[in-house]
């Protein structure tokens, strides 16, 4: 059986398939597995990368691959151990950071960014799906209807032993979540600092959360991770969905690895009928024909890029690059959303650095009243648009060595506690543009974070809240010395809001690597919507987008669970002829 194909073998293989999927990442491989599972369909996946195992154990060992996201310096592209597994993306100059440019890592491998992320598996609250359903005019996106797709994708192993009492958690009522391809579990280890910060959370009013995967996330708790409990190795869409197809011997699924989709091909009826591809190793161009549909799952940057170079996007942009206009869709590449983060760090007297560094203790809250006194009427109105169960802030409890660029053992490591707040109701919007008509040329990536007064005010309030956690009486026994990051010399205790904001924007803010919504889902009468509620691209036919770019709105927390659930839903829609 031949499931993986290189461009040099194309002359002896059929190049017509029922479905062609562009991108073998988180969503793409899930869709490929479900369409091939049906048995009646032939499916091809086009992926620019290969197996991440070809580059060693970087994405196999839990949390090792997370080093891909420890630096936003452009220099990290060539210095980091995962450079062969990521796209070398760099942003355009960012106004909020004085014109600086930054690296933005994205997976270039089978499994996509699921092969490199923090592995946190958390589901959004009920209110998130209510907003999604309202924005797209489709009740099938309500939590009560989407929950089964979350369940369908996963296989949860409950942890019943090995964890100390102060590092345990209530069991989840997840009967039936044992048949999905994606293994999720709770780690058999817990960073010691988590039980200490949990005390600080409780002291300052952040209660324990019963679960973070059953539709409510406010509070603090250990959360599941995409990890195989038996082997203690990372789970990705490759090790789950793709491997499941491989184990079942599905010869109707073919994967074209190390191949770059160059353009979606349309006929005179504006139907997607194929994809022009280039072999990255051979240099050979070739065409794959789609008898039914083309499904784009190339991620939040390259899905809109591929649409635009194929003639679907803002008319002015297409004409600028001499691209024939197939469909004038002004929303393609717009509406980029991400979560702003920053870090506070201090030395502690418990071990924080291990070979399995990670951040699997999380908390969410809406900021208490004392931190909201400086909010303007506009900020209050912006935040009031969200359901009460949609948190304003996430707190990530991290464990890594201070000053280490990689997950390798420094000579004299200090035990440093990294506390990473994350804004979960972002108002700022960025965009993706194209630099040419060629997919080999990097898209123009503009996250545009902290471009609204609301985001700035929430950032400052969250910083003040964070320092209060460090000053909690119950947390004091574990602290050593003074704050290391940002340090009182950079941000004095009596700093004004403006001084705090200036420092954070210049030196200590970034993103959560959760880029989304650049081919956003919406109603037909929304001029900025790119796809409908069944992920079909407006203005053309036989073309869908299924990945984080087609979210209606970015979820609070970590979006990989939403990508898997969306892929399950749209796969079902396709198989049912919708």
CB atoms within 10 A of CB 471: 14
Nearest-angstrom CA–CA distance, 410 and 248: 44
Question: For this structure, is 514 an active site residue?
Answer: yes
CA distances from 211 to 99, 144, 197, 514 (A): 41, 17, 18, 22
Placement of tokens 């969250």 in the chain:
462
The C-alpha atoms of residue 325 and residue 540 are separated, in whole angstroms, by 11
Residues with Cβ within 8 Å of 108's Cβ and at least 6 positions away in sequence, in order, are: 48, 49, 85, 86, 87
Binding residue per annotation — 378?
A: no
Outline where 350-488 has alpha helix (H).
377-384, 453-470
How far are the Cα atoms of 66, 375, 456, 563 from residue 431, in angstroms, in the given order? Answer: 25, 27, 19, 20
Is 321 flagged in the annotation as binding? Answer: no
Active site residue: 33, 129, 360, 514, which one? 514
Work out the end-to-end distance of the chain between its first and last CA atoms, rounded to an integer number of angstroms. 32
Q: Are 309 and 297 in contact (CB under 8 A)?
A: no
Alpha-carbon gap, residue 461 to 374, rounded angstroms: 8
Per-residue 3-state assignment (H helix, E strand, C coil) for 102-131: CECCCECCCCHHHHCCCCECCCCCHHHHHH
- Is 364 marked as a binding-site residue? no
Spatial distance between the Cα atoms of 249 and 456, rounded to a whole number of angstroms: 53
Q: Nearest 5 degrees, angle CA 513-CA 517-CA 523?
A: 165
Cα(207)–Cα(221) distance, integer angstroms: 9
Q: Which two tokens stand for residue 440?
A: 């080999």
Contacts with 358 (C-beta within 8 Å, 6 or more apart), sequence order: 62, 63, 66, 118, 119, 187, 191, 225, 398, 399
Using CA atoms, how far apart are residues 430 and 444, in angstroms rounded to an integer?
11
Query: Which residue do the tokens 């296989």 mark?
Result: 155
| 113 annotated to a ligand binding site | yes
| 3 state DSSP class of 571 | helix
Residue reference for tokens 């997607």: 272
Token pair listed for 166: 């102060």
How far is residue 331's CA from residue 552's CA, in Å, rounded to a whole number? 12
477 known ligand binder: no
Which residues are catalytic, by number? 514, 558
- Mark the binding-site residues for FAD, compressed into ranges: 113, 513-514, 559-560
Which residues participate in the annotated binding site? 113, 513-514, 559-560
């Amino acid at each position: 059986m031949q499931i993986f194909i290189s461009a040099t073998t194309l002359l002896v293989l059929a190049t017509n398939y029922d479905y062609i999927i562009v991108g073998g990442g988180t969503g793409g491989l899930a869709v490929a597995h479900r369409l091939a599972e049906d048995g009646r369909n032939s499916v091809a996946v086009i992926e620019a990368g290969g197996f991440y195992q070809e580059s060693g154990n970087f994405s196999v060992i839990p949390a090792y691959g997370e080093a891909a996201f420890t630096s936003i310096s452009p220099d990290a592209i060539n210095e980091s151990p995962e450079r062969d597994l990521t796209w070398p993306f760099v942003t355009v100059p960012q106004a909020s950071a004085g014109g600086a440019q930054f690296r933005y890592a994205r997976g270039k491998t089978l499994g996509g960014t699921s092969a490199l992320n923090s592995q946190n598996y958390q589901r959004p609250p009920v209110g998130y799906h209510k907003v999604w359903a309202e924005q797209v005019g489709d009740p099938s996106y309500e939590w009560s209807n989407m929950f089964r797709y979350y369940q369908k994708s996963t296989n949860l192993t409950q942890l019943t032993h090995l964890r100390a009492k102060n590092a345990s958690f209530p069991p989840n009522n997840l009967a039936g979540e044992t048949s999905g391809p994606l293994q999720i579990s709770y780690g058999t280890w817990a960073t010691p600092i988590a039980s200490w910060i949990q005390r600080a959370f409780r002291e300052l009013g952040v209660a324990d959360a019963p679960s973070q995967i059953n539709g409510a996330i406010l509070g603090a708790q250990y959360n599941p991770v995409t990890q195989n409990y038996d082997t203690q190795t990372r789970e990705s869409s490759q090790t789950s969905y793709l491997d499941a197809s491989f184990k079942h011997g599905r010869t109707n699924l073919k994967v074209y690895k190390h191949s770059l989709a160059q353009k979606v091909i349309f006929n005179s009826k504006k139907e997607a009928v194929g994809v022009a591809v280039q072999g990255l190793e051979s240099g050979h161009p070739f065409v794959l024909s789609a008898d039914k549909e083309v499904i784009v799952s190339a991620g939040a940057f390259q899905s809109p890029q591929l649409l635009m170079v194929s003639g679907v996007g803002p008319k002015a942009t297409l004409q600028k690059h001499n691209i024939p206009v197939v469909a004038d869709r002004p929303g393609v590449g717009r509406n980029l959303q991400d979560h702003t983060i920053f870090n506070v760090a201090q030395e502690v007297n418990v071990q924080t650095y291990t070979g399995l560094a990670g951040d699997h203790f999380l908390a969410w809250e809406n900021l208490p009243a004392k931190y909201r006194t400086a909010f303007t009427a506009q900020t209050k109105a912006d935040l009031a648009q969200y359901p009460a169960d949609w948190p304003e802030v996430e707190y990530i409890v991290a464990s890594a060595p201070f000053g280490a660029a990689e997950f390798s053992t420094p000579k004299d490591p200090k035990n440093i506690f990294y506390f990473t707040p994350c804004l979960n109701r972002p108002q700022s919007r960025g965009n993706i543009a194209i630099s040419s008509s060629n997919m080999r040329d990097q898209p123009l990536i503009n996250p545009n974070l902290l471009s609204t007064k609301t985001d700035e005010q929430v950032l400052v309030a969250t910083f003040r809240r964070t320092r209060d956690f460090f000053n909690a009486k119950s947390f004091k026994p574990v602290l050593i010395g003074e704050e290391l990051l940002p340090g009182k010399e950079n941000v004095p205790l009596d700093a004004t809001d403006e001084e705090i904001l200036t420092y954070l924007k210049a030196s200590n803010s970034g993103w959560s690597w959760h880029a989304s919504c650049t081919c956003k889902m919406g109603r037909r009468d929304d001029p900025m919507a790119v796809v409908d509620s069944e992920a079909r691209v407006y203005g053309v036919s036989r073309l869908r987008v299924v990945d984080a770019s087609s979210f209606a709105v970015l979820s609070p927390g970590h979006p990989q669970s939403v990508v898997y659930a969306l892929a399950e839903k749209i796969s079902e829609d396709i198989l049912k002829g919708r």
